[in-house]
Amino acid sequence: MRTYSSLLEEFATELGLEEIETNELGHGAVTIDKIWVVHLAPINEKELVVFMRAGILTGQSQLYDILRKNLFSPHSGVIRCALDKDDHWLLWSQLNINDTSGTKLASVLTSLVDKAVTISCEPTMKKEDEDDDHRPSSSHLLV
C-alpha cells in the first residue's frame, strides 16, 4: 500500500526535485514557472487533494462557461473549479493515493497549470525553441 509520503517522494523524483517539503500536517507546495503555486495535502490515509489559485473571474460569461464544464465524473484526477471569496478561481483535483503514481501526479499538476493558464490568459515562461501555444506540458514545466 502506497503512503502519501512515498507518493510525494516519487512525485519529487518525477519533477527532478530532491524533495517536496511539507509542514506538520503533510501540506506541501510546488512553484511552477515562478507564478503558479500548486499545493498538495492529504485528505486522509487514502486520498489527497492537489489545488491552486488561478486568475480572477473576468465576468459572468466566463463563470457560466467554466462552471458548465465542472460536472461530476467517475474518473480520478479530473480538474474541478470554484471561486474563493475574492473571486479568484480555485482549481483542484482529488486523487486516490494507491491509484496514483508520481507520473500521474505530475500529469495532474500539468493539467492544473494548463487550466490556470487558460482561465487567466497569462502566458507561462517558455524556452526559446517552443512554439507560441503558451500552454505548459510536463516536458517543460519550470519547477
Which pTM was predicted?
0.74
Sheet holding 88-96, edge to edge: 28-32, 36-42, 47-56, 88-96, 80-83
Extract the C-alpha cell encoding 6: 512515498
Query: Does any domain span residue 108?
Result: yes
Residue-level pLDDT at 65: 65
Query: Does any domain span residue 138?
Result: no
Query: Does any domain span residue 128?
Result: no
Flag residues of the chain having pLDDT under 70: 58-77, 121-143
Query: Does any domain span residue 142?
Result: no
Residue-level pLDDT at 77: 67
Q: How many domains in the chain?
A: 1
3-state SS string for the chain: CCCHHHHHHHHHHHHCCCCCCECCCCCEEEEECCCEEEEEEECCCCEEEEEEEEEECCCHHHHHHHHHCCCCCCCCCCCEEEECCCCEEEEEEEEECCCCCHHHHHHHHHHHHHHHHHHHCCCCCCCCCCCCCCCCCCCCCCC
The distance in angstroms from the start CA to the end CA of the chain is 28
Query: Does any domain span residue 131?
Result: no
Contacts of 34 (CB under 8 A, 6+ apart): 125, 142
Query: Does any domain span residue 135?
Result: no
Residue with cell string 463563470: 63
Residue-level pLDDT at 123: 38
Give the CATH number of the domain where residue 88 resides.
3.30.1460.10
Query: Does any domain span residue 89?
Result: yes
Domain containing 100 equals 4-120
Query: Does any domain span residue 66?
Result: yes
Residue-level pLDDT at 26: 93
